[in-house]
Amino acid sequence: MTDFAALTIASSNKKTGTIAVSTTSRDNCADDCPLRGDDGCYAESGYYTRLHWDQVTEGKRGVPPLEFIKQVSKLPANEMFRHDIAGDLWKDPENSKLIYFPYLEKLAKASSHLYAAWTYTHHTLDDITGARNKQSIFDVEQYKFIVNISTESLDVAASRQKEGLMVTVVQPEGGPTAFRHNDVQFVQCPATLPNSEITCQTCGGRKGKPLCATIRKVVVVFPAHGSRKKKAAAHCS
């Protein structure tokens, strides 16, 4: 297993805007992620994203975790940082379903000076391992590092939100942009609205932060996208 991570100082992605982003090894993706591989993962569908991800996974790009975390600590204080455009949080060497908290906490501390820092995870939140993962996610909020739970089910998303977690959900294209489900408010990512010029960089206005980088009571909806969007949509409920 190669555990490299690569930091891009200014993303060229139209959706994120020119913020700092990162990619970690494909080996860190959750074993039970329903979109993993060729089954709907958006990061596998973009040619350049996949090429970069391949090279990080093979150890041809990027650096080991602690060196990467040091790079993040040197980002300017007014910067936004989206961790893991592709990849997921580092796995515990002894338990592949467990988020490796020592690295997560170090990353959260290293990014605590930034204007906004956030990521997403498909790692399990079920059973004893999941309970430990949830605690790790809650623990790093004190450093203003937001870990969003990635889901594909409205029921699961609403349930996780009621636990106090920050949640996103993938849904098929063409759905409502704002709605309530199981007494929880859902809103579509502003950057994905038709003809939107909003990016992660401008989400929240001049003084706000991107929705995904905030403590909030709404679930953010991402329409399935990329060349594998039909496969992703097949997992939605």
What's the pTM?
Answer: 0.95
Tell me if 114 sits within 8 A of 147, measured CB to CB: no
The model's confidence at residue 43, banded by pLDDT at 50, 70 and 90, is confident
Taking only the tens place, the pLDDT of each residue in 91-130 is 999 999 999 999 999 999 999 999 999 999 999 999 999 9
User: In the predicted model, is pLDDT for residue 45 greater than 80?
Assistant: no
Q: Give the integer Cα–Cα distance in Å for 229 and 237.
A: 14
Q: Give the integer Cα–Cα distance in Å for 117 and 20.
A: 9
Distance of CA 189 to the CA centre of its chain: 13
In this prediction, residue 185 carries a pLDDT of 98
Average the pLDDT over each of 4-18, 63-77, 158-172 and give the range with the smallest value: 4-18
Q: Give the integer Cα–Cα distance in Å for 139 and 171.
A: 29
Distance of CA 78 to the CA centre of its chain: 20
Taking only the tens place, the pLDDT of each residue in 12-39 is 888 899 999 999 999 999 988 988 877 7
- φ/ψ of 232, rounded to 5, equals -65, -45
Q: How many helices (H) and strands (E) does the chain have?
A: 6, 11
> What is the number of other CB atoms lying within 10 angstroms of the CB of residue 118?
24
Q: What's the CA dihedral at 154, 40, 59, 75 to 10 degrees?
A: -40
Is 214 exposed, middle or buried, given 0-12, 13-18 or 19+ CB atoms closer than 10 A? middle
User: In the predicted model, is pLDDT for residue 205 greater than 80?
Assistant: no
In this prediction, residue 49 carries a pLDDT of 87
Q: CA nearest 9: which of 26, 22, 27? A: 22
Which residue segment(s) compose the domain that 145 sits in?
5-233
Mean pLDDT of all residues in the chain? Answer: 93
The domain total for the chain is: 1
Q: Give the C-alpha distances (Å, rounded to integers) separating 89 from 166, 184, 221.
A: 16, 27, 21
